[in-house]
Amino acid sequence: MKFFAFHLMPWDRLPDDFEKNHKTAWTWLPNEIFDPQHGGELYNNYLDQLVLADELGFDGVCVNEHHQNAYGTMPSPNLMASILARQTKNCKIAVVGNAIPFYDPPTRCAEEFAMIDCISGGRLIAGLVVGGGPEYYSFSKNPTFAREMYREAFDLIMRAWTEPGPFEHYGKHWKLKYVNPWPRPIQQPHPPIWIPGAGSRETIQFVAERRFAYMGIPYFHMDFFQRNFDMFRDACEKCDYTADPEQLGWLLPIYTAETDEQAWAEYEPHLWYFVKKLLKGLVVFPPGYTSARSIAGIQKGLQQFMSTCETREDIEKGGYAIVGSPETVRQKLSERIQKLGVGNLLGLFQLGTLPHDLTCKSMKLFAEKVMPGLREELNVESALS
């Protein structure tokens, strides 16, 4: 069982009239709202939180890529990961992930990931993603080519890491006479690969076939995760092997305080800022991003999405976030981790407007009072091997 601290690096100062005047926290939200001075403070706090995760004994930290939005102000996770490669000592650095259809050419991703792997001494986990729906608007990238661009970019990056260069690549979307990235990654033949998914069969099949790790996209109802993870395990069986729990990751918001009551009191306003403001506009399916049938299906699945929650009870019942005393958090996580059969827990410890001091306090409590018990109970050693 491995524990990761995941960060979105959200914008915490949306105007009071946001809900009235803005339909979304994405793409069309005027960037005047972003205050660079305050942005600098936030970035430094957020990096401090991830460095703290390393010091507290988390197995890894996670950063990710989003563009033109308030939900996650990290357009370049590789910049953050490269800082963390220097400032952390032991933990894995999971970039979940680079949106590779937007890298032109995608060999930039192979190069930058290799740099991070070298600087960190081989601690990179390489996440490769299609890119979120809103980002196809932000970049004016044609979403009807998203999947084929992803596959071409993916295969190209894998070749760039594993085949001696220079070689030629003449694909549909990129034509490269010389593929020969310097540097190469420390981890051979390549860093571990993580791929997030929101339940589309195409992605599950792709990850299972190649024996990579599948990360469940957060903010869905527990039952939705269960269905997707079961589907993944079935897909692995059909490929003639049994999935390792470490091939599955579960990402969810976690908050720990001294007591249940205190945890909710400290956490709740920040949680609702996240749910009601930052999630607004996250789930957008531009045309062709996935098949028409999948879009129709996922639209229905969205009836089980965190943004439909109105009360604390809704959050708890759907398992959208785990909030409480160390004992409550431990007990709920233990039960659900076993039920879901996942080997990686990706905790979102900071979210919305949650201040730096509360985030650090929650992470410390979690690391000191939740993680050791869970490690023992789930009968596995610390991953810092």
Least distance to other proteins from the beta carbon of 286, Å?
6
- Distances in whole angstroms, Cα of residue 312 to Cα of each of 48, 264, 317, 349, 367: 29, 9, 9, 18, 25
The pair phi, psi for residue 200, each rounded to 5°, is -75, 135
CB of 71 or CB of 250, closer to other proteins: 71
Least distance to other proteins from the beta carbon of 307, Å?
14
Least distance to other proteins from the beta carbon of 172, Å?
8
Rounded Cα–Cα distance for residues 84 and 116 (Å): 9
Nearest to 200 by CA among 158, 239, 243, 150: 150
CB of 151 or CB of 336, closer to other proteins: 151
CB of 24 or CB of 256, closer to other proteins: 24
Least distance to other proteins from the beta carbon of 149, Å?
12
Rounded Cα–Cα distance for residues 110 and 156 (Å): 9
User: Which secondary structure element, helix H or strand E, spans residue 99, and what is its range?
Assistant: strand 92-99
Least distance to other proteins from the beta carbon of 152, Å?
14
CB of 245 or CB of 286, closer to other proteins: 286
Contacts of 337 (CB under 8 A, 6+ apart): 1, 250, 345, 374, 378
Rounded Cα–Cα distance for residues 384 and 6 (Å): 18
CB of 265 or CB of 296, closer to other proteins: 296
CB of 111 or CB of 152, closer to other proteins: 152
Q: Is 94 exposed, middle or buried (0-12, 13-18, 19+ CB in 10 A)?
A: buried
Question: Applying CB under 8 A, which residues contact other proteins?
Answer: 136-137, 140-144, 284-288, 292-293, 295-296, 299-300
Least distance to other proteins from the beta carbon of 48, Å?
38
Q: Is 45 exposed, middle or buried (0-12, 13-18, 19+ CB in 10 A)?
A: middle
Tell whether omega for the bond before 191 is within 30 degrees of 0, i.e. cis: no
Least distance to other proteins from the beta carbon of 83, Å?
33
SS3 label, residue 375: helix
